Amino acid sequence: MSSVVIAPSILSADFARLGDEIAQVEAGGADWIHVDVMDGRFVPNLTFGAKVIDTVRRATSLPVDVHLMVVEPERYFDDFVAAGATRLTIHPEVSPHLHRQLTRIRELGCEAGAAINPSTPLSVVSEVIAELDLLLVMSVNPGFGGQQFIPASVDKVRRARAMLDAAGSEAWLQVDGGISRETIADVWDAGATAFVAGNAIFAAADPAAEIEMLRSLCRVVV
Ligand code: DX5
Ligand code: ZN
């Protein structure tokens, strides 16, 4: 796997052609497929459940990166792992027993991630860094694709990078929301390693070329 992970979010895909859309971004060099699960409670929108995770799993050999924007996420761990999730990322804002839940995800043989909203301080994960395979810094308020990147996220990613490095963590540092040609280089510079992009990739005339463009903007120019 390359050191820059590009994870197209199927939230912006054409669902009538989901298999084709996934095949297209996989052929175009995508590293993971990002699946946004929303429950209409934690976030004001509804999306997918285990059936779609299973569909995505069958459509690709890439890791299936599942972002749970739901209350009581533990209700879904078994089903989503059985459906083929590679990683489950949960929100501390609705996971008071974060250590228990991250541990449980790993017990199921799945990677575990924590995602924090723009208003949530990084300190909410400071005691569970050893339990994290991924830390996701949200760069929009979750719920919808195609929103504007929040500029303060760049400094938050920089502080997240410092926190992970200080703890000796090799967790992925992911950023999600408003990632595009205009924003990706700044968060890459700040230390992010994995980039979710929905609208930028699936609304592009050539999604494969867009993936390559986003990746190229992360390379250090010497
Ligand atoms: C937002 C979701 C994102 C979303 C990103 O709540 O978690 O994964 O699909 O979409 P864009 O890249 O369009 O901002
Ligand atoms: Zn997401």
- CB of 84 closer than 6 angstroms to any ligand 1 atom: no
- Which atom of ligand 1 approaches the CA of 115 most closely? 7
- CB of 67 closer than 6 angstroms to any ligand 1 atom: yes
| Ligand 1 atom 7, closest CA | 142
- Which atom of ligand 1 approaches the CA of 197 most closely? 12
- Which atom of ligand 1 approaches the CA of 43 most closely? 6
Whether residue 1 is predicted with pLDDT greater than 50 in this model: the reply is no
Q: pTM (2 decimals)?
A: 0.98
CA of 178 to the centre of ligand 1 (A): 7
The SS3 assignment for 100 reads helix
Catalytic one of 36, 39, 133, 186:
36
- CB of 147 closer than 6 angstroms to any ligand 1 atom: yes
CA of 141 to the centre of ligand 1 (A): 9
Residue that has been written with the tokens 């996989």 in this structure: 26
The pLDDT value recorded for residue 9 is: 98
The pLDDT value recorded for residue 19 is: 97
Exposed, middle or buried by CB within 10 Å (0-12, 13-18, 19+), for 168? exposed
Catalytic one of 39, 65, 176, 186:
176
Cβ–Cβ < 8 Å for 193, 173: yes
- CB of 117 closer than 6 angstroms to any ligand 1 atom: no
Report DSSP state, residue 73: G
- CB of 180 closer than 6 angstroms to any ligand 1 atom: no
Question: What number of other Cβ atoms are within 10 A of residue 205's Cβ?
Answer: 6
Contacts of 102 (CB under 8 A, 6+ apart): 90, 112, 114, 128, 131, 132
CA of 6 to the centre of ligand 1 (A): 13
Q: Residue 6: left (phi > 0), alpha (psi -120 to 50), or beta?
A: beta
Give the rounded percent of residues in the chain with a pLDDT score beyond 70: 98
**What value does the mean pLDDT of the chain take?**
97
The amino acid present at 4, given as its one-letter code, is V
- Report, as an integer, the average pLDDT of 117-139: 98
- 194-197 vs 5-8, strand pairing mode: parallel
Active site residue 36: yes
- CB of 142 closer than 6 angstroms to any ligand 1 atom: yes
- Residues 12 and 181: their CA atoms lie apart, in Å, by 17
Tell which residue, 99, 104, 61, 60, has the closest CA to residue 80: 104
- Return the C-alpha torsion angle 29, 111, 102, 68, nearest 10: 40
| 183-204 pLDDT tens trace | 999 999 999 999 999 999 999 9
Q: Which two tokens stand for residue 14?
A: 């054409």
